[in-house]
Amino acid sequence: MSIFGRKNTADAETATPSTPAAVNPEPAALTGDYTIDPAHTTIGFVARHAMVTNVKGKFLDFTGTLHLDGTDPAGSTASIDIKMDSIDTGNADRDGHLKSSDFFKTDEFPTMTFRSTRAEALGGDDYRITGDLSILGVTKPLTIDLEFNGAAKDPFGNERVGFEGTAEILRSEWGLTWNAALETGGVLVSDKIKLNFDISAIKNA
């Protein structure tokens, strides 16, 4: 996938890199528009299975943009679109069930979206972004706690920023209610879902 005029991933991996230059800019220097790099970004989730273990998954196909305001973090924004057919838990049968009418109904609702509505600095490298998460045509607020991992210029001249983030949702609030009772009590799939974000974004030219 091209990153809006930048080298695509395949070209970059075969190119001869220049000498990497680390970047430690003042916050104002980070101001600008960025494109999320899917080759170096993970959008994942964790669900409790049968009350005893965790199942981890991720989405393989997504696009996203960031606008960072280094002088006033409240002016920062984020937008992400995720193709639900790209869900991957490492098990084809389970992935097929998640795409079915029991869960994501991907034929009817192919995309999950997040649009930020508020950003705030919490101190140090910690930030919080709140926005609207839409799944199955249902839109609810989602708050993500983020840690800024820094900025750097990669060997191919791209200015990158990195963030790690976590959030928790109750899937039932978005209409994801399928479950099965266990003979020993409890249910097969937890209502609480943990979301994990590991984001690398490239500054637009």
Is CATH 3.10.180.10 what the domain over 9-203 is classified as, yes or no?
no
Helix/strand/coil for 39: helix
Q: Is the pTM of this model over 0.95?
A: no
Q: Where are the domains of the chain?
A: 9-203
> Could you tell me where the DSSP H helices lie in 81-128?
92-99
**Cβ atoms of residues 20 and 155 within 8 Å:** yes
Segment 173-202 mean pLDDT: 96
Question: What pLDDT was estimated at residue 27?
Answer: 80
**Cβ atoms of residues 140 and 86 within 8 Å:** no
Residue 185, burial from CB neighbour count under 10 angstroms (0-12, 13-18, 19+):
exposed
> Could you tell me where the DSSP H helices lie in 18-121?
92-99
Q: What digits encode the pLDDT tens for the residues 98-133?
A: 999 999 999 999 999 999 999 999 999 999 999 999
